[in-house]
Chain A
């Protein structure tokens, strides 16, 4: 099993550009989520999905879109990049059950917006 994979590892964008961060998992997990990590702020939830075709907003959804057409993939789209979106982005997946949410994280995408 590859676990959770993310591409690209690094990306530099100009303000106003759009791009998609890719996330895939091969563990047949129902639950997938996107976080951003900023210094001194821990991880903040952007969007999450509890299964194919179902997505919901997290704590900081503005400026980001997601879709979940398959169980395996959960891409994150930046519609019009802003310097405030400079961050490290992590995708995670987990199986659900009895309130337990043991999440497996990808290696992260380091995004810089100039």
Chain B
């Protein structure tokens, strides 16, 4: 099927790490992406990983990819209140289309 699946909600305390998970279906996906959407705004690309990589780190963000299980995760270290948003994973298919997950709403509390 076409589904990219994510859990709907995640709540973490400020300063803790957040881990947002995603499962995808197409083993031929070349790139996988994480986007952030703040309230009332469009989507902003956070990071992406090429399918032949296992891990990518970018400051507080760590992306892990398990191709065998078609599982992607985004870890945010030292989560801040400004990280509260909806996070979408997306996979890039050979047809140039991006297929998005349903989004995970991250809530950071003090």
Contact = CB atoms under 8 A, between A and B. Distances in A.
Interface of A: 4, 31, 33, 35, 40-45, 48, 50, 58-59, 90, 92, 96, 98-108
Contact of B97 (A4, A42, A45): A45
Interface in B33-50: 33, 35, 41-45, 48
Given A40-B102, A100-B30, A105-B35, 9 more contacts: A31-B96, A44-B100, A45-B98, A48-B96, A58-B97, A101-B97, A102-B45, A107-B41, A107-B42
A100 B42 contact: no
B92 A100 contact: yes
Nearest to B88: A42
A101 B31 contact: yes
Contacts of A58: 97
Interface of B: 2, 4, 8, 30-31, 33, 35, 41-45, 48, 88, 92, 94, 96-103
Contacts of B88: 42-43
B86 to A, nearest CB: 9
Contact of A105 (B2, B44, B92, B101): B44
Nearest to A41: B102
Contacts of B41: 107-108
Contacts of A50: 96
Given A40-B8, A42-B101, A101 B96 contact: yes
A63 to B, nearest CB: 20
The 10 closest A-B pairs by CB, nearest first: A99-B30, A105-B42, A42-B102, A43-B100, A105-B43, A101-B92, A42-B100, A107-B42, A100-B31, A108-B42
A101 B42 CA distance: 17
A42 B37 CA distance: 11
Contacts of B92: 99-101
